[in-house]
Amino acid sequence: MTTSVAVSPRPATGFIRVGEDAKPWITGFRCMDCGAVATEQTLACRRCTSRSPLQEFRASARGRVYSWTVVQRSYPGIAVPFVSVIVELEDHLTLKGTLRVADHDSVHSGMPVRLVFDDAGGALDPEGAPYVGYHFVPFTGDEK
Amino acid sequence: MSSVYVVGADLIKFGRYPNRSPAQLGAEAALLALDDAGLTIRDVGALYVGSSFNAASMMGQQILQQIGQTGIPCVNVSNACASGATAFREAMIGIMSGLYDVALAVGTEKNPPGMLPSRKTEGPPPEGLFGSGTMPAVFAEAGMVHSAAYGTTIEQFARVSVKNHYHATMNPKAMYQRETPLEEVLASEMIAWPLTKLMCSVNVDGAAATVLVSARKARELGLSRAIRVRGSALASDPWEAHNPVMFDANSVTRLAAAGAFEMAGVGPQELDVVELHDCFATAELLHYENLGLCGEGEAGALIDSGATTLGGRVPVNVSGGLLSKGHPIGATGVANIVEIVQQLRGEAGARQVDGARLGLAHVLGFGAAAAVHILEKA
Ligand SMILES: [Zn+2]
C-alpha cells in the first residue's frame, strides 16, 4: 500500500494564493488613497502614484463579462474553440479568463459569471506538483 | 521651436525575404530615401533605427556596415509597433536640439513567422487556460467593447478590410494587391470573433526610411518637395481600470493625438489624409474615434458612409494599411510617414488624395506605446 502525501498545489498564475488548507483564492491590491485595484503589488499606485502601502484583499468570485471573443484559431497545439473573457469582478478587479459555457452564442457583455478554481488542465510543475488555476462559468443565481 | 522637414522618404516592397537580413532590408530603404533627398550617407549626422525584434543586434551599425561606416552616432530603438515612429521622432528631436542638420530614420523588420505572442509568464502556458493572449483575440475583445456600446456589426468591421484591400491595388509596394469583396472577408477563416483571417494584418518583412533636416538645410536643398513636421507626440499607456489585464488601445492613442494636435495647432477636421494603425479591422474603427475623425460611437457609420475611402472626406490607409500593404512591426511607423509624405507631395500615383496638404500618421505598440505625427506640405 502506498500512502498518499498531500502536495499543496502551486498557483498557475501570479495572483492565485493557496492557503494552508489548500484552498485557493484570488488576491488583489487596493490603493488606500484613490481606491484603484490591481492583481499586482506594485511599488506605488499606478493610478495616483501614492506610495502608501497597497492593501491586500481576497477578491470576490463573482463578476460580469466586460468583453469577450470566441477563439477559433490560437497557437499551434491549443485546443479550440474556447471563449476568452475579460471579467470585472464585484470589487472592480479585472481578470482575463476562459468562460466554460455550452452555448457560445449566449455570451454577451454584462453577462454574470462566477470564478471556479481548477487543476489548470492537469499541468504539473517541474517537481511534479499540481497547479491550481481558474476559469469562469455563467452565474445563474442558484449557487450558494 | 525650430522646424523640421522631411526631404527624403521611401520604402522597399513589403513581402517575404528569406535570404536577406533585416539590416540589408533597412540599408536598401536608407539608400532609397537618401537618393530621394539627393543626399548621401556622408551628409547624415545621426542614424535612428526602429526594429521591434532586432534592435538589440545593433541594427543601425549593421546598416552602416552595408552603406558606409561614417562613424556617426546610432540609436537603436525597440518600442513594439511604435518602434519606427519612435526612431523618426528621436531623429526629429535631434534636429530640433540643433545638434544635427541631417538625420536618417529607418524602420526595418523581419517578423517571426506565425501568430505573434504577447508576454511570457510563469507557470503552465496560459493560452486557453486563462483566455487568449493572441493578438487577434486581444483586438477582437477591444472591438467587442465598441460593439456592445454602440451596436457595431461584424459587417462594419469587415468593411475596413474591403476598403484597405481595395486601396492596396493602387500601391505597387503593398504585399497584397487584390480586392476582397465583403462576402469574401466574412467567409474567410474565423480567427477570433468578429475577426476573420482577412481582417488581420499581414505578417511580412519590410523596411522604410526618411531623411529629416533642419529649416536651414531644407532652404539650402530647396523646399519644393519638403514636408514639414507640424506635430509629434509619443505616449505610454495611462492608467485605465482594465489595463493591462485588458489591452487599452484607446487611451494611449488619444493621449498621443491630443499632444500632436496641440503642437500642430490644428484639429482633426482639417486633415486631408490619414494613415492609422489598422493591425486588425476592429482597431481602425476604434481609432476613427480616438483620432477625432468622427464623434463617439460614430465609427461604424463613418466606414459605411465611404468618407474614409479614397475620394471620400478623409481617406484612411490609402496605402492599403497594415491589413493589405503588410505589417513589418518595426518598419510600420516609418512606412506610415512615408505614405503621408508621398501624398502631401502629390506623388502617390493612382492612390493620390486630391489636393492633400495636411496628413496624420499613427501607430500603436502593444504594451503600450502610441505615436502620432502631423505633416504638412511646406
Ligand atoms: Zn492610488
Q: Angle between the B135-150 and B281-290 helix axes, to the nearest 10 degrees?
A: 50
- Identify residue B316 by its one-letter amino acid code: V
Q: For residue range B147-193, what is the model confidence (pLDDT) as tens digits?
A: 999 999 999 999 999 999 999 999 999 999 999 999 999 999 999 99
**DSSP-assigned states of every residue in B18-76:** TTS-HHHHHHHHHHHHHHHHT--GGG-SEEEEE-TTTGGGTHHHHHHHHH------EEE
pLDDT, residue A6, reads 59
Residue B303 has pLDDT above 70, yes or no: yes
Mean pLDDT of B55-77: 97
* Residue B281 CA: distances (Å) to CA of A45, B144, B339: 34, 12, 19
What pLDDT, on a 0 to 100 scale, did the predictor assign at position A1? 42
Backbone angles phi, psi at A97, to 5 degrees: -165, 180
For residues A18-39, give the mean pLDDT: 95
Reply yes or no on whether the pLDDT at B358 is more than 90.
Answer: yes
pLDDT at A5 over 80: no
Q: Which of B165, B277, B327, B362 is catalytic?
A: B327
- Judge: B141–A97 Cβ closer than 8 Å, yes or no: no
Q: pTM of this prediction?
A: 0.96
Interface predicted TM-score (ipTM) over 0.90: yes
- Residue A97 in any domain: the answer is yes
Residue B20: CA atoms inside 13 Å, Cβ hemisphere, count? 20
Asked if residue A25 is part of any domain, the answer here is yes
* Integer angstrom CA distances of residue B326 from A14, B168, B170, B216, B336: 36, 10, 14, 36, 11
pLDDT band at A3 (very low <50, low <70, confident <90, very high): very low
What integer pLDDT is reported at residue A142 of this predicted model?
65
Contacts of B146 in chain A (CB under 8 A): none
| 8 Å CB contact of A74 and B189 | no
The residue behind cell 525584434 is: B53
What domains can you pick out in chain B, each with its CATH number?
A: 4-114+202-377 (3.40.47.10)
Ligand 1 centroid to residue B252 C-alpha, Å: 19
To the nearest whole angstrom, how far is the Cα of B276 from the nearest Cα of chain A? Answer: 24
Q: Is residue A144 part of a domain?
A: no
Q: For position B1, what pLDDT does the model report?
A: 60
Number of domains in chain A: 1
A132 or A4, which is more confident: A132
With respect to residue A131, please indicate whether it lies within any of the assigned structural domains. Answer: yes
Q: What is the pLDDT of residue B237?
A: 98
User: Is the pLDDT confidence value at A144 over 60?
Assistant: no
Chain A residues with CB under 8 Å of B116 CB are none
A78 vs B contacts (CB less than 8 Å): 127-128
* pLDDT score at A41: 95
Query: Under an 8 A CB cutoff, do A121 and B124 touch?
Result: yes
Distance (Å, whole) CA A66 – CA A143: 22
Cell of B214: 533642419
Q: Examine the residue annotation and report whether B200 is marked as an active-site residue of this protein.
A: no
Look at residue A1 and tell me if it is in a domain.
Answer: no
pLDDT computed for residue B240 by the predictor: 97
Cα separation, B91 vs A11, in Å, equals 46
Q: Which chain B residues are within 8 Å of A85, Cβ to Cβ?
A: 131
A35 Cα: distance to centroid of ligand 1 (angstroms): 6
Chain centroid to Cα B49, Å, comes to 15
Q: Is residue A5 part of a domain?
A: no
pLDDT at B356 over 70: yes
Option in B123, B141, B241 nearest A67 (CB): B141
Domain annotation covers residue A6:
no
Helices (H), B97-150: 135-150
- Indicate whether A3 belongs to any domain: no
Q: How many residues does chain A have?
A: 144
The reply to whether B279 belongs to the active site is no
Cα A53 to middle of ligand 1, angstroms:
10
Query: For helices B22-37 and B59-67, what crossing angle results, to 10°?
Result: 60
What residue has cell string 488601445? Answer: B249
Interface residue A115 vs chain B (CB under 8 A): no
Q: A46 at the B interface (CB within 8 A)? A: yes
Query: Range of A128's domain?
Result: 11-138
Q: Mapping DSSP to helix (H, G, I), strand (E, B) and coil, where does residue B288 land? A: helix
